[in-house]
Structure 1
Amino acid sequence: MRQRTRRAAASLACCAALLGTSAATTAPTAAVPAAPAHGHDPARGTLPAGDGWASAAGGTTGGAAAGRENVRTVRTWDQFRAALAAGGGEPQIIRVVGTIDAQAAGCAAYEAPGYDFDTYLADYDPAVWGYDTPVSGPQEDARAASAARQAAAVQAYVPSDTTVVGVGRNAGITGAGLQIRDADNVIVRNLTLESPLDCFPQWDPTDGERGAWNSEYDAAVVHNSTHVWLDHNTFTDGRHPDSSLPRHYGELYQQHDGELDVVRGADLVTVSWNVFEEHAKTLMIGNSDAAGGTDRGRLRVTLHHNLFRDVGERAPRVRFGQVDTYNNHYVITEGSYSYSFGIGFESRLVAEKNSFRLPPGTGPDRILKKWSEAPLTADHNTVNGTVTDLVAAHNAANPDTPLQRDAGWTPTLRTRVDDPRAVPGVVVPRAGAGRLR
């Protein structure tokens, strides 16, 4: 049934694309409004033909073919998780109304017997424990048990052939981790996703020279899944930015992980017209240099017309994948900025016609960071309105660790390409939740 319904929906999408969109191309076109979903109901929208990697190999239709009995409207976290599980393997649409809070119960609700944070701090104080040995013992065991309780409560698993869509301008989910895991053909649109707040970060005294607090939970994870379209969402730390978090042992008590991860064999993903804002470790594609067995030849991801606003790093960081990053707008105004594009193990990043706005004192050499020897293509990008050779800027500032040019492939799955000088005016007013047309 899944293959039949996907083929039918894909055929409709293809016909609509021939009538209403241009052919995939790498050549620049005049700025035009964002391509709408096919049909009048965003919940029935399908990815346009040629729109990034998720349009390859049959395309992405999500739950567009769902029968009326498999269209559900939810307003609470319990309703949302129940709806995800109710599809029975058939295409389904889940419409989110208002803001759903997955952590309304508060952190105390997840605490395992025996866990006490003040005792945890006393037991593992570096003055007592030192920096040479990972933490262990009753309080670490109780912390891990508490973390497992929170994970079970705040993570939701999105199955194959599903569309999750926000209704109207103010739909969202806070404190949750959307898991698109071992699935195929998933669409998530028009949601404000406030990052989960890890109630039980782990202290690792061996992380760096002075140790670090490490947290779990991303707002969304694409894990060993294919044909995934994430469109017109806003990823944010919302009420709990890093600046609001305390410090313990002299280090930030980090309660956030990433905003979006695409990992562990995930493939054919398009990320379009989203906002990623005010976050440190933002978007990771490929989670380990040792994952070649699952990731090599996969992790094909397109990022286009997204707004990255005051994000510190990983926008994205790439391992293995053929990643097409074009027509995104990066705005850095304050805070701790490390880099935007992370060039990782066996990556093949193409970064073209993106726009960067950097503050005084921050040069274009900061945009690229070399983690491993891997070639990239970075052409026709602008920095503060001026076309800038990002590879040359990096290499001039880092002569001992130069980057190599030419990713070795040419993207073809693009429905529109804007002049990078026009990108701010196109992306800023149209990207993010509540702006789906």
Structure 2
Amino acid sequence: MRLRHIALATTLLGLLCLPAHADTRDIGRDTLPLNDGWASAGSGTTGGSGADSAHVFTVTDRAGLVRALDNGSDTPKIIRIAGTIDANTTDDGEHLDCDDYATDGYSLRKYLAAYDPRTWGSAKLSGEQEAARQASARKQAERVELLVGSNTTIVGLKGAVLKGASLQVRNAGNVIVRNLDSRDAYDCFPVWQPNTGGLGDWKTAYDNIWLTGATHVWVDHVTLSDKGHPDSEEPTLFARNYLRHDGLLDITNGSDLVTVSWSRFADHDKAMLIGSGDSATGDRGKLRVTLHHNEFESVVQRAPRVRFGQVHVYNNRYLVEGDDYRYSLGVSTESGIYAENNAFHTPGHIEVADLVKSWNGSALHQSGTLFNGYPVDLLAIHNAYNSGSERDLTADVGWTPTLHTKIDSAAAADRQVARGAGAGRMP
């Protein structure tokens, strides 16, 4: 008996002495579960889970990340990001700011003087300063645009941050991005567009993550924000906010079969655009996206805005803040948003009718919505209180979701998302 006790004690001591990481699963080998949204259709989404040992990388700086991405190659690969990686750095790791990218005589002061609407008017921009801005923008793009190829998994290790980068999945497929804090995809050289919105506006270049022509993509437990340089602190130029950020996660140009889950979108203007434009009829039959268990906090608009796509929006949590809020669900040309059991929290000046906005859209399915804890019918209220500039919407979006995880009540999902969404909160 004593020998048995000694053996048991020795076994327990051995377990206690194992390295802390010994029983930690390798999330880089995870694949999208069955039926977890549109990205599980067909062959599903496996990312780089099949990578051989020579194509598993742990990277700590921009140079290492660029090498691991291998110019967007299709070779199966797993890339683990450790620590903080700043895309605005040289190959030697020295930080670059906007002045380092400026070239050919560009300066914001000269640019504003050249294209002041009071003297330039509404003509298309041309001339020395616009050419210099474009050249400067190309220099920054060479640093911050990071191409992600097919069969790739990118995961953040504990506390991983990617600053200033635009991860771009262009015409590639089978990609997974998980457990990563991606922040401040900051554009040093926004362009003035004289005709936008009638009075002109500033347009920026970079999304934190951009899917363009991408298929079978799973984005999970990421945090996307402008942290570090919020647009709310930028000046007003030509009577418009001088925006430095575009989307947090945009899904455009025929992208298809995408699942976005358990992620946080925070402190941003235009969070998520699904679809390129009203005339992009090649998007018909594509842009099939599932959004579930995500948190949208202090997002002004596009959570999401949809054209053409069949988009399932369920069990998400919306925390609306600020006086500049515009809407959450954007119903645009030929879109089919199927919204189920979402929870909205708003200040007193925001009404239910403010949550939905439509441009040329005709349909919205909604059920199980909570507004500050009370059940509401978004569709009925939108139709009753729309401004007259928007058409009434019907409930028939032409499809019914079949690929999804368990759909909880909005109240239950609200609590789960508050605890579990975002980087660093994987179960």
What's the counterpart of residue 110 of structure 1?
101
For the pair 1:375 / 2:355, whether they are aligned, the reply is: no
Whole-angstrom CA distance in 1 between matches of 2:380 and 2:320: 21
Query: Bigger relative contact order, structure 1 or 2, given CA contacts below 8 A and separation 6+?
Result: 1
Mapping for residues 229-378 of structure 1, pairs under 5 Å: 229-293=218-282, 295-378=283-366
Tell me, in whole angstroms, the C-alpha distance in 2 between the residues paired with 1:44 and 1:327. 26
How far residue 266 of structure 1 moved from its aligned partner, in angstroms, is 0.5
Equivalent in the alignment of 1:129: 120
| Whole-angstrom CA distance in 1 between matches of 2:56 and 2:204 | 35
Q: Against the structure 1 CA distance between its residues 384 and 134, is the aligned structure 2 distance closer, same or farther, given a 3 Å change threshold?
A: same
Q: CA offsets per residue over residues 57-105 of structure 1, 9 Å max, x none?
A: 1110101111111100101111101110078633110000011111231
**Partner AA of 1:65 in structure 2:** G
- The answer to whether structure 1 residue 171 and structure 2 residue 156 are counterparts is no
**Runs in 1 of length 4+ with deviation above 3 angstroms?**
86-89
> What's the offset of the Cα at 1:373?
3.2
C-alpha contact 2:320 2:346 (8 A) present in aligned 1: yes
Residue in 1 that maps onto 2:40: 55
Q: Give, in angstroms, the shift of residue 123 of structure 1.
A: 1.3
1:148–1:398 distance in 2 versus 1, CA, 3 Å: same
Query: Which residue type is aligned with residue 424 of structure 1?
Result: D
Q: Please say which of residues 78-87 and 95-104 is displaced more in the overlay.
A: 78-87
Q: How does 1:145-156 map to 2 (within 5 A)?
A: 145-156=135-146
Partner Cα distance (1:127, 1:292) in 2: 37
8 Å CA contact retained: 1:310, 1:335: no
Match of 2:5 in 1: none
Q: What CA distance in whole angstroms lies between the structure 2 residues aligned with 1:262 and 1:213?
A: 21
Matched residue, 1:194:
183
Q: Which amino acid in 2 is paired with 1:214? A: K
Query: How far off is 1:209 after superposition?
Result: 4.0
Where 1:429 maps in the other structure, the secondary structure is helix
In the alignment, is the contact (CA less than 8 A) between 1:195 and 1:218 conserved in 2? Answer: no
The percentage of aligned residue pairs carrying the same residue is: 48
Distance in 2, matches of 1:204 and 1:298, equals 30
Deviations 1:109-131 (A, max 9, x none): 2112221221111111223223x
Paired residues for 1:422-433 under 5 Å:
422-433=412-423
In 2: Cα distance, 1:86 partner to 1:148 partner: 17
Closer/same/farther in 2, CA of residues 133 and 167 from structure 1, 3 Å limit: same
Letter in 1 for 2:182: L
For 2:420, what is the secondary structure of its paired residue? coil
Distance in 2 (CA, whole Å) between partners of 1:40 and 1:266 is 31
Once residues 266 and 207 of structure 1 are traced to their aligned partners in structure 2, the CA distance between those partners, rounded to angstroms, is 26
Which whole-Å deviations, capped at 9, do the CAs of 1:378-400 have from their partners, x for residues lacking one? 11111111111001111111273
CA deviation digits over 1:241-280, x for unaligned, max 9? 1111112223211111110110111100000000001111
Show structure 1 runs of 5+ residues with no match: 1-38
Q: 1:335 to 1:68 in 2, by over 3 A?
A: farther
Q: Which structure has the larger Rg over C-alpha atoms?
A: 2
Preserved contact between residue 156 and residue 177 of structure 1 (Cα < 8 Å): yes
Unpaired runs of at least 5, structure 2: 1-23, 89-94
Alignment-mate amino acid for residue 253 of structure 1: Y
Query: Is the contact between residue 72 and residue 147 of structure 2 (CA under 8 Å) also seen in structure 1?
Result: no
Deviation at 1:358, TM superposition (A): 1.2
Match of 2:31 among 18, 25, 46: 46
Distance 1:287 1:433 in 2: 28
Letter in 1 for 2:201: A
Q: For residues 126 and 225 of structure 1, what CA distance do their matches in structure 2 show?
A: 38
Q: Are 2:251 and 2:274, in contact at CA under 8 Å, matched by a contact in 1?
A: yes
The alignment's TM-score, normalised by the length of structure 2, stands at: 0.90
Distance 1:389 1:210 in 2: 35
Distance 1:241 1:75 in 2: 25
The question of whether the paired residues in 1 share the 8 Å contact of 2:180 and 2:222 is answered with: yes
Please list the CA deviations of residues 165-186 of structure 1 after superposition, one character each: whole Å capped at 9, or x if unmatched.
Answer: 0011x10211010001111100
The equivalent of 2:378 in structure 1 is: 390
How far apart are the structure 2 equivalents of 1:87 and 1:311?
31
Amino acid at match of 2:38: W
Q: Which amino acid aligns with 1:96?
A: I
Letter of the 2:232 counterpart: S
The 10-residue stretch of structure 1 (116-125 or 135-144) with the greater mean CA deviation from structure 2: 116-125
Report if aligned partners of 2:72, 2:150 keep a CA contact under 8 Å in 1.
no
Aligned partners of 2:184 and 2:228 also within 8 Å: no
